[in-house]
């Protein structure tokens, strides 16, 4: 056997290779552990002295002059005390002081700019060193394979295993847990000793910042492999070569540039929890920030970046690190790339979380401005040049922000949380306007309109860094990076699959069970005219679904399943959520669960219900607070079971019943089961079921019982977001001209009137006379519209009008347009859409309650098993390709078919999907500014009632000449409710621009 082959099987082969590379290419100095490692101080004492005396000779002379022969002992005594009291991280960042005012730096970090040669030289003077076989303990002969030092102070330890010997990184983790007790060991003591400890083999790396014997938790520190966990192959190298060698991934983790960046601007001591935690960036966090900054440093401001990071990625920390790096970034000419970083979200709760996280990373007081008050605060922060601003997107849509101008010479890194929702609509445009608006430079109306149009598109002074786990098609086109295939792709990826495989979130589809309900109904009064003919089956599904018998059977299945499989999880702390189809449904479920628990004597179970507003049931009106006994704001804490101070509440709740409220955006790691009794599709399904994916010690599985959806429905919903989201094709921008041409084919629009409208509209501040003049111009088109008695043409025009508004707004964001005619038409039709008349409302028709009897009802289990997706199981998102009624997703098309079939089966009609799509006109009619803003800015559950009322009235108006459809809308509440819910979801999608225009 050759020497090389023999050595390949030795335990030390990985550590020796790593050390060789660090010395040869990383600028590390090899130090002998036996000769140089001071076990009592846990440092290389001689190297510390060399660094101090060579970089700060003046301060050392002062020390010797004051302490004479005791200078060295005094220095190390004060250094040791500082390490114990403040920790190594703070000592490296802040240095130490010795009476009478002698200051020593223990490390020099890279300056943001290279314009100060002295600081660059200080940075280059840092000494990186490595030791192997470090005998760290004075009490026993325990050794660590590798230790890395910065200026003689230990920053990292490693246990390295060789797969060919039958050991791997898991064995290294076990070694740390069992044989590397931190008690009495300075090198291993939390904060005092090394900052991070790595367990590795040739293929995988994990790390921890706190050794706690058997409770030590290691986190993966891998790059990811083919959309999942692990590391990719590297030619002629181990897969973990990114630790110690340069390559296509960039600088090595242990290189001077990266290691000092991590110590100086990434590692963070988190004191917000019950115990302190030292946060070391995971690989995808570090890689994302450094790649983003490298690209922005090379190309400057004005680029967009899409970061597809799954739940469980540590997104808040990544955003915080990115903001702090952005304001210190300089380009190749040593000019600052960004003057200000603005972090925006559309949810107040997330805004507060981000404020807290970003502020924790603040090392210079006053850098972060948290906009917790009015938009006036935001205006002042921008005007005064605040470095980092954290705010909600809605604060840009105010009069205060309209006063801002002159920001075009400043550059902004806009970091967007949940890109698909935060960057659509008027608020997003208002933000761009505030950051680019200049004083009027031309009186020419064409120049003014061109400036308006330019402001919609990419801006040279703004870079958008858009984060989302679930990018939609328009999100990819708006922020994605074009690849060789010409299609947009995420700039950086940390996939759902990788997060699951690395254990940061759970696979919620592993235990999936579906049920189907069967029922029979009969008329209570055979000769009741209200129940004769086609009306005999009205409200069948709703009546059956809300019937006490139906809810009772489902409640029994739910409660017994919870008690049998879930209740004992997490030492009895496990929670469950029941997801229902409506607020009324949720209320009835609450009464059903409460009554069943009482009847069975399950004193250890309690349920809560969450809904907004008031509900009436059996003649009594209820609010959420009436039923829970405490304020709505207290519900998350009460459901968790613990007060903010950590003490338990006297009453513990296990089951939370919801409709829309808390269905998304609710973070409760104790949720272990979900019981679904509503149709879910697309992204809504992913977001709803993902409430279960949060990890917690002892939580290794989840359960889903679904009464409405099939396993394949759910798989279809998850496929586009499981690995990397992709787009089938780019949207064709020329479709905007197709829409323009189709609109002008109608006789309603007049180009001369549009020109006159634009001449007034774009001149600036509009007074009362201007507004009257504009409305007069638009009403000429309204009159032509009213004169046309062809309802079909009117419906088509309404739909095309909205489609043009949506598509123009989208395409103008994606690219720079140079056709002011499109902008003029857009401003004109936004007024026209508001002024087009509603149809006359017919007299109110009294509708009596159904008189039906539930004869049989049975719930049967249908499917049970693992619904998880496999590696490579993907589905591409579709591009924008059609207009008229808002293009249907596959899920919506399927739902629409079901509604049409239900109408025809229950009423003996022969309606087509085209007939049903006529309901789109109702959406177009009722989505005026007020209702659209309500849908855009509030939880769906809060605004559904208002929408349903407006939709019902709109449907009656639309079908007043269509007796058959009108009678069904008036009398079949179940059919009406299904249709209303369907078009409500599409209205949400429309006003929030979350799918194709």
Q: 322: phi > 0 → left, psi -120 to 50 → alpha, else beta; which?
A: alpha
Q: Could you tell me if 597 and 460 lie in one domain?
A: no
Tens digits of residue pLDDT in 637-652: 999 999 888 899 999 9
DSSP conformation class of 462: E
State yes or no: pLDDT of 131 exceeds 90.
Answer: yes
670 in a structural domain: yes
Cβ within 8 Å of residue 301, ≥6 positions away: 337, 338, 411, 412, 413, 460, 461, 462, 463
Pairwise CA distance, residues 941 & 587, whole Å: 13
Lowest mean pLDDT among 175-179, 631-635, 770-774, 905-909: 905-909
State yes or no: pLDDT of 895 exceeds 60.
Answer: no
Tens digits of residue pLDDT in 602-635: 999 999 999 888 888 888 999 999 999 998 888 9
Lowest mean pLDDT among 145-154, 482-491, 674-683, 787-796: 787-796
Read off the tokens for 529: 């005219």
- Return the pLDDT at 980: 80
114: confidence class by pLDDT, cuts 50, 70, 90: confident
Cβ within 8 Å of residue 192, ≥6 positions away: 42, 83, 84, 87, 88, 186
In the listed set 459, 494, 529, which residue is the last one of a domain according to the structure? 494
Q: Could you tell me if 23 and 92 lie in one domain?
A: yes
Tens digits of residue pLDDT in 169-183: 999 999 999 999 999
Lowest mean pLDDT among 197-211, 501-515, 930-944: 930-944
CA-closest candidate to residue 490, choices 463, 470, 507, 462: 470
- Return the pLDDT at 535: 36
State yes or no: pLDDT of 279 exceeds 60.
Answer: yes
Q: Could you tell me if 545 and 461 lie in one domain?
A: no
Mean pLDDT for 868-878 is 88
Tens digits of residue pLDDT in 513-566: 999 877 665 544 444 444 433 333 434 455 667 778 889 999 999 999 999 999
The mean pLDDT value of the chain amounts to: 84
391: confidence class by pLDDT, cuts 50, 70, 90: confident
390 has which bridge partners? 343, 370
Pairwise CA distance, residues 72 & 74, whole Å: 5
Q: Cα angle vertex 573, ends 568, 579, to 5°?
A: 95
State yes or no: pLDDT of 957 exceeds 70.
Answer: no
Percent of the chain surpassing pLDDT 90: 52
Q: Could you tell me if 63 and 195 lie in one domain?
A: yes
Tens digits of residue pLDDT in 190-237: 999 999 999 999 999 999 999 999 999 999 999 999 999 999 999 999
Tens digits of residue pLDDT in 662-710: 876 678 999 999 999 998 988 889 989 999 999 999 999 999 999 999 9
Tens digits of residue pLDDT in 49-105: 999 999 999 999 999 999 999 999 999 999 999 999 999 999 999 999 999 999 999
Mean pLDDT for 887-896 is 49
How many structural domains are present in the chain? Answer: 4
Q: Could you tell me if 455 and 486 lie in one domain?
A: yes
667 and 687 Cβ atoms separated by less than 8 Å: no
Pairwise CA distance, residues 252 & 494, whole Å: 20
Q: Could you tell me if 516 and 600 lie in one domain?
A: yes
17 and 172 Cβ atoms separated by less than 8 Å: no
- Return the pLDDT at 885: 42
Lowest mean pLDDT among 151-155, 231-235, 439-443, 465-469: 439-443
Q: Which residue has the higher pLDDT, 406 or 929?
A: 406
CA-closest candidate to residue 172, choices 207, 133, 140, 125: 207
- Identity of the highest mean pLDDT range in 114-123, 192-201, 760-769, 980-989: 192-201
Lowest mean pLDDT among 156-170, 312-326, 800-814: 800-814
612 in a structural domain: yes
428: confidence class by pLDDT, cuts 50, 70, 90: confident
- Return the pLDDT at 848: 34
- Return the pLDDT at 888: 46
Which helix or strand (DSSP H or E) is residue 903 part of? helix 890-907
- Return the pLDDT at 929: 45
Domain membership of residue 446 as a residue range: 281-494
503 in a structural domain: no
Tens digits of residue pLDDT in 330-359: 998 899 999 999 988 866 544 455 566 666
- Return the pLDDT at 919: 63
Mean pLDDT for 485-494 is 95
State yes or no: pLDDT of 851 exceeds 50.
Answer: no
736 in a structural domain: no
Identify the residue whose tokens are 């809504």: 684
Q: Could you tell me if 328 and 376 lie in one domain?
A: yes
Mean pLDDT for 265-280 is 88
- Return the pLDDT at 620: 92
Burial class (CB in 10 A: 0-12, 13-18, 19+), 165: middle
981 and 659 Cβ atoms separated by less than 8 Å: no
Tens digits of residue pLDDT in 735-766: 999 999 999 998 899 999 999 999 998 876 67
State yes or no: pLDDT of 769 exceeds 90.
Answer: no
Pairwise CA distance, residues 191 & 155, whole Å: 10
977: confidence class by pLDDT, cuts 50, 70, 90: confident
Burial class (CB in 10 A: 0-12, 13-18, 19+), 967: middle
Identify the residue whose tokens are 């301060």: 59
Q: Could you tell me if 487 and 537 lie in one domain?
A: no
CATH assignment of the domain containing 331 = 3.40.50.300
Q: Which residue has the higher pLDDT, 918 or 279?
A: 279
CA-closest candidate to residue 672, choices 804, 818, 506, 455: 506
- Return the pLDDT at 562: 97
111 in a structural domain: yes
DSSP conformation class of 218: -
Q: Could you tell me if 206 and 85 lie in one domain?
A: yes
In the listed set 465, 494, 523, which residue is the last one of a domain according to the structure? 494
Identify the residue whose tokens are 């006789």: 747
Pairwise CA distance, residues 338 & 969, whole Å: 56
Pairwise CA distance, residues 149 & 154, whole Å: 4
Q: Could you tell me if 441 and 520 lie in one domain?
A: no
- Identity of the highest mean pLDDT range in 131-140, 363-372, 789-798: 131-140
937: confidence class by pLDDT, cuts 50, 70, 90: low
Strand-pair category, 388-392 with 412-417: unpaired
Pairwise CA distance, residues 313 & 936, whole Å: 27
In the listed set 220, 235, 258, which residue is the last one of a domain according to the structure? 220
772 in a structural domain: no
Tens digits of residue pLDDT in 575-596: 999 999 888 899 999 999 999 9
What's the length of the chain? 997
185 in a structural domain: yes
State yes or no: pLDDT of 167 exceeds 70.
Answer: yes
CA distances from 624 to 631, 934, 945 (A): 8, 21, 16
Identify the residue whose tokens are 């490692």: 37
Q: Could you tell me if 582 and 490 lie in one domain?
A: no
Q: Which residue has the higher pLDDT, 403 or 914?
A: 403
State yes or no: pLDDT of 403 exceeds 90.
Answer: no
Q: Could you tell me if 477 and 557 lie in one domain?
A: no
State yes or no: pLDDT of 380 exceeds 90.
Answer: no
233 in a structural domain: no
DSSP conformation class of 930: H
């Amino acid at each position: 056997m050759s020497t090389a082959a023999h050595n390949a099987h030795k335990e030390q082969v990985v550590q020796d290779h790593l050390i060789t590379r660090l010395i040869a290419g990383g600028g590390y100095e090899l130090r002998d552990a036996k000769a140089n490692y001071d076990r009592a101080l846990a440092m290389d004492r001689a190297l510390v002295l060399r660094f101090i005396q060579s970089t700060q000779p003046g301060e050392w002379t002062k020390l010797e002059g004051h302490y004479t022969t005791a200078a060295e002992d005094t220095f190390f005594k004060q250094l040791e005390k500082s390490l114990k009291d403040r920790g190594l991280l703070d000592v490296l960042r802040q240095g130490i002081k010795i009476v009478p005012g002698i200051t020593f730096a223990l490390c020099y970090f890279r300056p943001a700019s290279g314009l100060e040669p002295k600081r660059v030289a200080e940075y280059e003077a840092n000494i990186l060193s490595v030791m192997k076989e470090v005998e760290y303990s004075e009490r026993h002969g325990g050794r660590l394979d590798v230790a890395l030092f910065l200026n003689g102070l230990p920053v990292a330890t490693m246990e390295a295993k060789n797969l060919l010997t039958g050991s791997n990184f898991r064995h290294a983790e076990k070694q740390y847990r069992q044989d590397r007790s931190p008690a009495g060991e300075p090198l291993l003591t939390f904060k005092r000793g090394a900052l991070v400890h790595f367990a590795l083999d040739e293929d995988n790396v994990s790390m921890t910042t706190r050794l706690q014997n058997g409770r030590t938790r290691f986190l993966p520190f891998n790059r990811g492999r083919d959309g999942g966990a692990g590391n990719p192959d590297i030619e002629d190298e181990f897969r973990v070569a990114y630790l110690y060698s340069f390559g296509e991934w960039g600088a090595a983790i242990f290189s001077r540039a990266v290691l000092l960046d991590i110590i100086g601007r990434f590692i963070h001591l988190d004191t917000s929890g019950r115990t302190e935690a030292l946060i070391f960036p995971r690989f995808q966090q570090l890689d994302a920030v450094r790649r983003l900054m490298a690209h922005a440093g090379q190309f400057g401001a004005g680029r967009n970046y899409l970061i597809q990071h799954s739940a469980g990625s540590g997104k808040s920390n990544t955003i915080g690190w990115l903001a702090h790096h952005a304001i210190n970034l300089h380009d190749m000419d040593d000019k600052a790339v960004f003057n200000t970083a603005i972090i925006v979200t559309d949810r107040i709760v997330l805004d507060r979380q981000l404020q807290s996280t970003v502020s924790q990373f603040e090392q210079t007081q006053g850098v972060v401005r948290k906009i917790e008050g009015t938009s006036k605060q935001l205006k002042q922060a921008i005007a005064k040049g605040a470095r980092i601003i954290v705010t909600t997107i809605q604060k840009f849509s105010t009069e205060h922000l309209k006063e801002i101008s002159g920001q075009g010479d400043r550059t902004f890194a806009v970091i967007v949380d949940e890109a698909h929702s935060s960057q659509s609509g008027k608020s997003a445009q208002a933000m761009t306007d505030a950051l680019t608006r200049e004083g009027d430079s031309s009186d020419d109306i064409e120049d003014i309109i061109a400036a308006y149009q330019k402001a919609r598109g990419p801006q040279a002074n703004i870079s958008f860094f858009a984060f989302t786990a679930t990018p939609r098609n328009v999100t990819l086109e708006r922020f994605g990076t074009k690849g060789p295939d010409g299609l947009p792709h995420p700039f950086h990826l940390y996939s759902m699959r990788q997060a699951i495989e690395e254990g940061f979130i759970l696979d919620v589809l592993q235990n999936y069970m579906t049920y189907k309900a069967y029922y029979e109904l009969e008329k209570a009064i055979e000769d009741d005219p209200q129940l004769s003919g086609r009306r005999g089956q009205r409200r069948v599904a709703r009546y059956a679904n809300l019937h006490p018998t139906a809810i009772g059977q489902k409640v029994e299945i739910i409660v017994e399943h919870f008690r049998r499989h879930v209740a004992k999880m997490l030492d009895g702390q496990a929670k469950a959520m029941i997801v229902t189809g409506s607020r009324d449904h949720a209320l009835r479920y609450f009464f059903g669960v409460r009554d069943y628990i009482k009847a069975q004597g399950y004193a250890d179970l309690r349920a809560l219900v969450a809904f907004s507003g008031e509900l009436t049931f059996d003649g009594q009106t209820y609010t959420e607070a009436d039923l829970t006994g405490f304020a709505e704001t207290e519900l998350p804490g009460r459901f968790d079971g613990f007060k903010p101070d950590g003490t338990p509440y006297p009453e513990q709740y296990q089951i939370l019943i919801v409709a829309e409220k808390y269905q998304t955006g609710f973070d409760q790691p104790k949720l272990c089961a979900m019981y679904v009794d509503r149709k879910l599709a697309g992204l809504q399904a992913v977001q709803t079921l993902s409430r279960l994916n949060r990890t917690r010690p002892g939580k290794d599985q989840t359960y889903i019982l679904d009464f409405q959806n099939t396993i394949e429905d759910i798989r279809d919903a998850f496929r586009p977001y499981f690995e990397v989201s992709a787009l089938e094709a780019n949207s064709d921008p020329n479709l905007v001209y197709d829409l323009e041409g189709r609109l002008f084919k109608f006789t309603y629009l007049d180009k001369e009137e549009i020109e006159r409208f634009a001449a007034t509209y774009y001149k600036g501040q509009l007074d009362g006379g201007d507004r009257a003049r504009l409305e007069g111009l638009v009403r000429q088109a309204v009159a032509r519209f009213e004169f046309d008695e062809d309802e079909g043409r009117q419906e088509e025009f309404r739909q095309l009008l909205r489609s043009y508004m949506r598509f123009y707004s989208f395409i103008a964001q994606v690219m720079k347009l140079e056709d002011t005619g499109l902008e003029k038409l857009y401003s004109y039709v936004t007024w026209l859409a508001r002024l087009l008349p509603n149809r006359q409302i017919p007299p109110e028709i009294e509708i009596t309650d159904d008189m039906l009897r539930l004869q049989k009802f049975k719930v049967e289990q249908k499917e049970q098993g693992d619904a998880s997706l496999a590696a490579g199981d993907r589905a591409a998102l579709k591009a924008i390709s059609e207009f008229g009624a808002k293009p249907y997703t596959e899920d919506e098309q399927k739902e629409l078919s079901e509604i049409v079939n239900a109408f025809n089966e229950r009423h003996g009609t022969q309606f087509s999907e085209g007939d049903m799509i006529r309901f789109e006109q109702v959406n177009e009619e009722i989505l005026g500014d007020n209702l659209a803003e309500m849908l855009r800015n509030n939880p769906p559950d809060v605004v559904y009632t208002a929408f349903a009322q407006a939709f019902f009235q709109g449907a009656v108006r639309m079908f007043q000449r269509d007796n058959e459809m009108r009678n069904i809308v008036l009398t079949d509440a179940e059919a009406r409710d299904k249709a209303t819910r369907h078009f409500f979801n599409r209205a949400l999608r429309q006003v929030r621009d979350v799918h194709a225009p």
